[in-house]
């Protein structure tokens, strides 16, 4: 009887897993088989797709620089320090992940718009943010930062505090210790965070639409180009969708491979060190 119950449980578990995987895979498969590769490739030769690709790559690269530059110190600070209010900071970061993108766009308008908190100051220096590529980058940074910080913090959590203390006792400055000890050891987490942030920035839609608009050649990123193409040309929308999928997926695969290699090298170094100590 017990064996029979176990077999039925295994079948139910297998069907559930297969159903979930099928549910996740079918939309992606349907994109790939919508039309012949030749037809889809020709659709990418249009102005809409080319402008959106260039703008997406440019803006996401810029946003990744700002995300890493600001997110890395924040991740290290959260990992290595305990302070009053830390949970509120962590909750705030998580909120930027789950908040509706349109809400984020409205919030950014209230900060950087002409009537926003910084509107007068920006206008005084002649800088207009909304409906420009600057707004695109800001929206992407807002959406990607928390994902990067979460992964980077996990990387820094894996750095032994004793190694940091040893480096300091050997005369290394805090910056040198951070650069030569913490960052190399946390590299897998940092790379993973960078890949996730890159993919999130590429796929940002709602906040960009509200805050930067949908201006071809100016603020129309690939997700917005897909939205525009859906109104008149489904094949173009599918072609851009596939291109966006490839552009986001390739770095994720490469970074995952690099992170695994770094982890294996670190584990091998730890084993070699342990062997040397034992001998």
How far CA 229 is from CA of 11, 129, 217, 241, in Å, comes to 43, 26, 14, 10
Residue 112 to residue 122: CA distance in whole angstroms: 8
Q: What is the DSSP string of 8-47?
A: HHHHHHHHHHHHHHHHHHHHHHHHHTSS-HHHHHHHTTSH
pLDDT interval class at 276 (50, 70, 90): low
| pLDDT top residue among 270 and 58 | 58
- Using alpha carbons only, what angle is made at residue 130 by residues 125 and 135, rounded to the nearest 5 degrees? 100
Residue bearing the bigger pLDDT, 270 or 213 = 213
Rounded to two decimals, what is the model's pTM?
A: 0.86
State pLDDT tens for residues 46-56: 888 899 999 99
Which pLDDT does position 271 carry in this prediction? Answer: 65
Write out the CATH class of domain 38-266. mainly alpha
Above pLDDT 70, what percent of the chain? 93
> pLDDT tens digits for 133-149?
999 999 999 999 999 99
Task: For residue 86, count other CB atoms closer than 10 A to its CB.
Answer: 12
Mean per-residue pLDDT, 196-223: 93
Work out the number of other CB atoms within 10 angstroms of the CB of residue 24.
Answer: 9
Residue 5, pLDDT score? 60
Asked if 102 and 207 count as a contact pair (C-beta separation under 8 A), the reply is: yes
- The confidence score (pLDDT) of residue 250 equals 86
């Amino acid at each position: 009887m017990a064996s029979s119950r176990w077999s039925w449980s295994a079948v139910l578990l297998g069907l559930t897993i297969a159903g979930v995987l099928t549910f996740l895979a079918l939309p992606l498969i349907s994109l790939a088989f919508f039309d012949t590769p030749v037809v889809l490739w020709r659709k990418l030769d249009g102005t809409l797709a080319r402008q959106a690709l260039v703008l997406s790559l440019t803006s996401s690269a810029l946003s990744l620089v700002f995300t890493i530059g600001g997110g890395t110190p924040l991740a290290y600070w959260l990992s290595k320090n305990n302070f009053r209010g830390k949970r509120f900071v962590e909750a705030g970061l998580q909120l930027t992940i789950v908040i509706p993108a349109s809400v984020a766009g409205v919030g950014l308008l209230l900060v950087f718009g002409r009537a926003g908190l910084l509107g007068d100051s920006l206008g005084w220096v002649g800088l207009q943010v909304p409906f420009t590529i600057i707004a695109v980058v800001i929206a992407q940074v807002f959406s990607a930062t928390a994902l990067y910080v979460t992964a980077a913090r996990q990387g820094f959590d894996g750095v032994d505090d004793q190694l940091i203390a040893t480096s300091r006792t050997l005369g290394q400055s805090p910056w040198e210790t951070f650069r030569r000890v913490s960052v190399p050891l946390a590299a897998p987490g940092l790379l993973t965070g960078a890949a996730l942030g890159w993919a999130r920035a590429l796929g940002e839609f709602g906040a960009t639409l509200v805050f930067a608009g949908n201006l071809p050649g100016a603020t129309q990123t690939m997700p917005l180009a897909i939205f525009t193409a859906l109104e008149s040309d489904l094949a173009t929308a599918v072609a851009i969708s596939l291109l966006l999928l490839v552009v986001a997926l390739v770095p994720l695969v490469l970074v995952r491979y690099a992170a695994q290699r770094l982890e294996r090298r670190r584990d091998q170094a730890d084993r070699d060190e342990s062997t040397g100590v034992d001998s």
